[in-house]
Chain A
Amino acid sequence: MGFLDIDNATKSYGAVEVLHRVDISVEEGEFLVLVGPSGCGKSTLLNMIAGLEEISSGEIRIKDAVMNGVHPSKRNIAMVFQSYALYPNMTVGQNITFGLEMHGVPKGERETAMAEVAKLLQIEQLLDRKPGQLSGGQRQRVAMGRALVRNPDVFLFDEPLSNLDAKLRVDMRTEIKKLHQKLGTTIVYVTHDQIEAMTLSTRIAVMNGGYVQQLGTPKEIYDTPANLFVATFMGSPSMNLIPVRVRTEGNAVYAVTQNSQGQEISLTFFQPSDRLRSYDGQEIILGIRPEALTDVEGADQRSAHVERLENMVAVTEPAGSDTFVTTTLGGAECVARMRSDADVVAGKQTVFAVNMEKAVVFDPTTEQRIL
C-alpha cells in the first residue's frame, strides 16, 4: 500500500477505452512524472486522480481511502493547471485563499497561511494585484501558492511550465524541484517534455496509447527502456536504432551490420544474455544513445567495453557544448554526440567509439527490449 494508489484504473468514453488498467503506487514524498505524447492519456489519468473525471473501473486511493466518486474538493489534493487558471476577477491574495474560504477556514487563519506561502514563493509584493497584471513566471508562482496554501496530501501539476518561454521554464523547473526537496510533498506531474520528466522526477511513468509503457526511475527509463517507444520518446536526440543480425561464435555474440559504404562490420556485445544468444542468425534492433556513439577521445573512460569503427561523416552540427555528427549504420541514420572540438569533417571518414556497455537490443516484431 502506497500513499497514492492507482489500482487497475481504466477510463472509457462509451465503448472506447482511452486508459487501460493503470497500476501505479506512489510513496509519500515521491515525485511521479507522467510523460507521453499528446493523447496518451496522461492528463486523463491526472484528472481522474483529481476527481475531475470519473473512474470507469478500478480504484484510486489516497492514504488508503478510496477516492472513487469523491468530490475533488474532498480529496485533499491541489492542482496547478497549464493555464494557471487564476481567477481573473480576484487579487492574488484572494486567489490563494479562495480554497480555504470555500472550506470554511476562518479569516485569520487564511491570512496567516497566505502570508507564509507568499513568503515561501517570494510573491508578497504581488498580493494586491490582479492576475492580468502579472508576468508568466509570477502567475506560475501564484498558481503554486494557491496549491501550497491548502497543505494537501498530493499535488497535481498539469503541464505547468508549457506556457513559459524557454529560459523561464528552466528556472521554474529548478524552483519546483527545490520546493519539492524542501517540503517533501507528494507530487504527480504531467508533461510531454521528456527533459522535464528526467530532471524533476523520482519516478517516471511513460505513457502511450492509454497504456503505461514503463514505470521506473529516470535512470532505469533512460538506460534500460522497456520497448522501442520508450527508447525513442525519452532522450534528445533520440536513441539510434540500428538493424543488426545476431551471430554467436563460442562465448562471443556479435551484432553484424553495414557501415556507410555497405561493407559488413560487427560489434561485440558486452555480457550477452542467454535470451540474446537465442536470437542467433535473426535480425534485431540495436539501440545506442548518441552519447554512447562518440569520438575516441570522448568515449566513457570507465566503460568496460568500447568498440571502434570507421565510418563516413554525413553532416556535422556544432551545438556549442557538443558536436552532433550524423552517419549511417545498417542503413539507418545515426546521431553521434562528440566533443565540441572533435576533429570531424563532413564527407570524410572518422573513427567512432561505441560504448557497448550501454547498448540495448529490441525484438523487431514485439518491439520489446531483449533482456
Chain B
Amino acid sequence: MSVATQDTAIRTGRIARAMIYLVLVLFALFYVLPLYVMAVNSVKPLSEITGGGMMALPEVWTIEPWLKAWSTAQIGVEPTGLRPYFWNSISMVVPAVAISTVLGALNGYVLTKWRFRWDTILFGLMLFACFIPFQIVLIPMAAVLGFLGLAGSTSGLVLVHVVYGIGFSTLYFRNYYAVFPTELVRAAQIDGAGFFQIFWRILLPSSGPISVVCIIWQFTNIWNDFLFGASFASGDGAPMTVALNNLVQSSTGVKEYNVHFAGAILAALPTLLVYIVAGRYFVRGLMAGSVKG
C-alpha cells in the first residue's frame, strides 16, 4: 500500500474517504462539463441544440459544423471560415516562441553565470514587465506599430509577443541555470571554452526540460492572447482568438451554436494537444511562473 514517493502520514476513515472521492469526482465533472458541451454540440445539427438537447449525445452525427467553422463560416465580411486565421496564429506563434525562448536562454545564462553589478535589479525590471496590465502599453504600441508600418501585420504581433514574452522566458532559464553548478562553467573556462562555447557545449545540452517548459508556456500564452490581437490586428491579419470571437459575436443571421463550438475547439486544439502530450512540463511552467523557485 505504501507509495515510496509520498507516504502521507495522515489516515482517514472509510466514510471520510468516500466523501473525499465524491467531492473529487463532482469537481472533475464540473471541469469536464464545458468541454463535453463543446464537443457533443459541435457534432449535432443546430435544431437538436435549440430543442433543449444540449446535454444529450447527438441523435444525428454530423461533421458539418466543423467544416463550416474551418472553411466557410462568415468571419467579419468574408465567408472564409477560421482557416486563414489559424495560419495567422501559427505564423505568429512559431517565430515569437523561438525568438523569445532563445533570448530568454541567453539572458538566463548571463544573469546567473556572468553576474555583474545591478544584475538582480535588471532582472527584476524584466520580470515586472511580465505582470504589467498590457493596457498601459497599448496606445504607444499602436503608435509605434503604425510608425513602423507593422500595424495589422503578423510581424507586428511577433514583435509584441517577443517583447512581452522575454520576461517569462528569462525567468525560466535564470531559475534553471541558477542551480546549474557554476563549477562546470569554471572548469570549462579553464579548459579554454569561450562565452558561447560554454553555453553551447556545457549548458545547452542540459537545458532540454526547461526549454520544453519555456516553449510550452510561450506557445500557450501567445496562442491564447486576445488583447494584442484585437488591438493591433483585427482585420485579415487577426489571430485565431480574435477570429473566433468575431464568429461568436457576429450579430447577423441565425446563431449557429454548433459552428461556434466547433470553432472554439479548433481554437483550443493546439494548446490542448500540447497539454495532453506534455502536461507535466505545462504544469512545471505554471508553477515556475508563479512560485519563483
Do A and B share a complex?
yes
Instruction: Give B239-293 interface residues, CB cut-off 8 Å to A.
Output: none
Cβ contacts A69-102/B at 8 Å (1 or 0 each) = 0011110011101110111110000000011001
- Which residues of chain A come closer than 8 Å to B197, judged between CB atoms? 102
Q: Does the CB pair B191–A82 fall under 8 Å? A: no
Cβ contacts B68-93/A at 8 Å (1 or 0 each) = 00000000000000000000000000
A52 at the interface (CB under 8 A from B): yes
CA distance A103 to B194 in the complex (A): 11
- Which residues of chain A come closer than 8 Å to B186, judged between CB atoms? 50, 52, 72, 79, 81, 85
- Which residues of chain A come closer than 8 Å to B133, judged between CB atoms? none
Q: Does the CB pair A78–B190 fall under 8 Å? A: yes
Most interface-central of A50, A74, A78, A99 (chain B CB within 10 A): A99
Q: Does the CB pair A73–B205 fall under 8 Å? A: no
Instruction: Name the residue of chain A whose CB is nearest to the CB of B189.
Output: A72
Q: Does the CB pair A98–B206 fall under 8 Å? A: no
Cβ contacts B173-213/A at 8 Å (1 or 0 each) = 00000000101101111111100010001100110000000
Q: Does the CB pair B192–A102 fall under 8 Å? A: yes
Q: Does the CB pair B192–A73 fall under 8 Å? A: yes
- Which residues of chain B come closer than 8 Å to A79, judged between CB atoms? 186-187, 190
- Contact A72 B190, CB 8 Å, known A87-B202, A88-B206, A89-B206: yes
Instruction: Name the residue of chain A whose CB is nearest to the CB of B194.
Output: A102
Q: Does the CB pair B189–A85 fall under 8 Å? A: no
CA distance A81 to B186 in the complex (A): 9
Interface size on A, residues (CB 8 A): 24
Supply 12 A–B pairs (Cβ within 8 Å), ascending by A: A50-B186, A51-B189, A52-B190, A71-B189, A73-B190, A82-B183, A85-B181, A86-B184, A98-B193, A99-B192, A102-B188, A146-B191
State the B residues within 8 Å of A (CB): 181, 183-184, 186-193, 197, 201-202, 205-206
6 A-B pairs with least C-beta separation: A73-B192, A99-B191, A89-B205, A102-B192, A85-B183, A85-B187
Q: Does the CB pair B183–A83 fall under 8 Å? A: yes
**Main DSSP-derived SS at the B contact region:** helix
CA distance A82 to B206 in the complex (A): 20
- Which residues of chain B come closer than 8 Å to A78, judged between CB atoms? 190
Question: How far, in Å, is A182 (CB) from chain B's closest CB?
Answer: 23
State the A residues within 8 Å of B (CB): 50-52, 71-74, 77-79, 81-83, 85-89, 98-99, 102-103, 146, 150
- Which residues of chain A come closer than 8 Å to B202, judged between CB atoms? 87, 89
Q: Does the CB pair A102–B191 fall under 8 Å? A: yes
- Contact A98 B191, CB 8 Å, known A87-B202, A88-B206, A89-B206: yes
Instruction: Name the residue of chain B whose CB is nearest to the CB of A158.
Output: B183
- Which residues of chain B come closer than 8 Å to A86, judged between CB atoms? 184
Q: Does the CB pair B181–A50 fall under 8 Å? A: no
Q: Does the CB pair A73–B191 fall under 8 Å? A: yes
Q: Does the CB pair A87–B190 fall under 8 Å? A: no
- Which residues of chain B come closer than 8 Å to A73, judged between CB atoms? 189-193
Q: Does the CB pair B190–A50 fall under 8 Å? A: yes
CA distance A82 to B184 in the complex (A): 11
- Which residues of chain B come closer than 8 Å to A89, judged between CB atoms? 202, 205-206
CA distance A132 to B193 in the complex (A): 22
Q: Does the CB pair B192–A85 fall under 8 Å? A: no
Q: Does the CB pair A102–B183 fall under 8 Å? A: no
Instruction: Name the residue of chain B whose CB is nearest to the CB of A89.
Output: B205
- Which residues of chain A come closer than 8 Å to B192, judged between CB atoms? 73-74, 99, 102-103
CA distance A72 to B191 in the complex (A): 8
Q: Does the CB pair B188–A98 fall under 8 Å? A: yes
Q: Does the CB pair B190–A77 fall under 8 Å? A: yes
Instruction: Name the residue of chain B whose CB is nearest to the CB of A53.
Output: B186
Q: Does the CB pair A52–B189 fall under 8 Å? A: yes
Question: How far, in Å, is A71 (CB) from chain B's closest CB?
Answer: 8
CA distance A82 to B197 in the complex (A): 23
CA distance A146 to B193 in the complex (A): 14
Question: How far, in Å, is B197 (CB) from chain A's closest CB?
Answer: 7
Question: How far, in Å, is B185 (CB) from chain A's closest CB?
Answer: 8
CA distance A87 to B183 in the complex (A): 10
Most interface-central of A50, A73, A102 (chain B CB within 10 A): A102
- Which residues of chain A come closer than 8 Å to B181, judged between CB atoms? 83, 85
CA distance A51 to B190 in the complex (A): 8
Q: Does the CB pair B193–A102 fall under 8 Å? A: yes
17 more contacts with CB within 8 A, not counting A81-B183, A98-B191, are A51-B189, A52-B186, A73-B191, A73-B192, A73-B193, A74-B192, A81-B187, A83-B183, A85-B181, A85-B183, A87-B188, A87-B201, A88-B184, A98-B188, A98-B201, A103-B192, A146-B191
